Structure 1
Amino acid sequence: MVQAVIFDMDGVLIDSEPYWAEAEQHVFRQLGVTLDPAITSQTSGMTTRAVTELWFKHSPWQDLSIEQTEQAVIDYVALAVLERGVVKKGVVELLQQLQSWQIPVALATNSPASLMNTVLDKLQIRSYFQALCSIELVTQGKPKPEIYHLAASKLGVASEHCLVFEDSVTGLTAAKAAGMKVVALPAKHHWHRTEYDQAESRLTCFSEIQPAHFQAWGFTGL
């Protein structure tokens, strides 16, 4: 039985994945790093620190520290969100529906709190969330399950009674490791990845959700 819902942020509430790609191109190329598409395709859902360390290992640079480089990427994404960010189709309607059913809602993101707050305020959806979990609150980000266990704890709901909306395999892996149900919203170029087969459903957007979905996912008494 679903008693709480947890949302990922990037790629779920906002189509920010292109901003991250732009940020990596902008920051890392300025540092002389040649971005390898084979590596880029693996970074979706990873923490900014993990991505930065991955590129540093691939092609070390001198001008900035790991911390400074990570912050430069985050700052670029934050500016893009402020200038161009829009809420993804169907998000507000789903949040309103969950609110009307008095289903507690949390956000669990591998992004830092500064960016999380920028997104929530830009999209004007902060009031729908009863718990907010950013990367600073855990020792290990996704694909480890810690941040999802934390979100469930903040909501006062057992992990097995939580439903998660995720777009990345990294996030899906984390939520499943936490013992949660998952609805996947893969990017178009990742749609056919077999890892998504373990999700309860695979959707292209929230607007596809029908009443029968809620019943199938384990919502009761609505």
Structure 2
Amino acid sequence: MIYCATLCFFTLPESIYFFYSTMSMTEIKAIIFDMDGVISDTQKLHALVEEEILRRYGVNLSPEEITQKYAGTTDREFFEKIFNDHNISVDVENIIKEKWERMIKISKNNISPISGAVELIKNLRRNDFKLAIASASPHNFIKLVLEELNLKGKFDVIVSAEDVKFGKPNPEIFLLAVKKLRVKPEECIIIEDGINGIIAGKKAGMKCIWFTKEENKTKVPADLIVNDLKELTIAKIKGL
């Protein structure tokens, strides 16, 4: 019987071939989302507020530069690096406090979801995936976003930059999320819009989906690249 199955393998129907070819694949049990730029259209708000603060100290970085180079880093890492590079002495704690006071103020009643994000999250829940958020934002802002988008209670685990020492591209935040989810890294998929996040995910040993509008997609080691979250079907996710 085994001998015959081996000889006849390539004549089996396509559906049976797919079954055999996927038997050895690791089952995906959990999806870890970045929040800003993946669930909520708030990444640009971070960059705009940070640009305003830096400009007051004579540092000129565009929101696009900030997003491209520093998305995913902790606030402390970001501001310390920028001010150290420009030999500017400031109280970073006060700068971070100022940033988040401004962020909360401009975000209330002004948070919109990324197209397809809410539907994707609900679909994943219906299909029994564990869900987590791993975000550089603090817990109070994550809570605000989830409340504004009616997503409160949809995530099994929420990990913030406040919970870790290092931001992305260090994998610490994803490894903590995996530990809290009680799954293995290889059983997780990360959905990220930032290059630092993808690098962190690969370092953590996870499959990575890069959600991006960028035209140059060759520089990022993602397992799948999508321009629209509506492209992410359950079958496509399970097939990674």
Q: Aligned-pair distance for 1:36? A: 6.5
Contact 2:47 2:63 (C-alpha < 8 Å) held by counterparts? no
The verdict on how the C-alpha distance between 1:37 and 1:210 changes in structure 2, with shifts beyond 3 A counting, is closer
Runs of 4+ deviating beyond 4 Å: 36-39
Give the number of the structure whose alpha-carbon radius of gyration is greater: 2
| 1:199 and 2:222 correspond | yes
Once the two structures are overlaid, the 10-residue window that deviates more, 125-134 or 110-119, is 110-119
Residue in 2 that maps onto 1:56: 83
**Residue identity matched to 2:239:** A
The answer to whether the 8 Å contact 2:48/2:63 transfers is no
- Number of residue pairs the alignment of both structures matches: 213
User: What corresponds to 1:20 in structure 2?
Assistant: 46
Matched, 1:96 2:122: yes
TM superposition shift of 1:77: 2.3
Please state if 1:208 is matched with 2:231: yes
- Amino acid of the structure 1 residue aligned with 2:85: H
- The aligned residue for residue 22 of structure 2 is none
- Taking the aligned partners of 1:122 and 1:48, their CA distance within structure 2 comes to 23
Q: 1:133 matched to which residue of 2?
A: 159
Q: 2:185 aligns with which of 114, 134, 159?
A: 159
- Structure 1 residue 98: Cα displacement: 1.1
The residue that corresponds to 1:220 in the other structure is none
* Alpha-carbon shift at residue 212 of structure 1 (Å): 4.2
Residue 65 of structure 1, CA deviation: 1.0
Paired letter, 1:192? N
Q: Are 2:96 and 1:70 equivalent residues in the alignment?
A: yes
Secondary structure of the residue aligned to 1:127 is coil
Q: Secondary structure at the match of 1:21?
A: helix
For 1:193 and 1:46, locate their aligned partners in 2 and report how far apart those are by CA, in whole Å. Answer: 21
- Aligned with 1:128: secondary structure? coil
Offset of residue 80 of structure 1: 2.7
CA contact (8 A) 2:31 2:130 kept: yes
Structure 2, unmatched stretches of 5+, are: 1-26
- State the identity %: 31
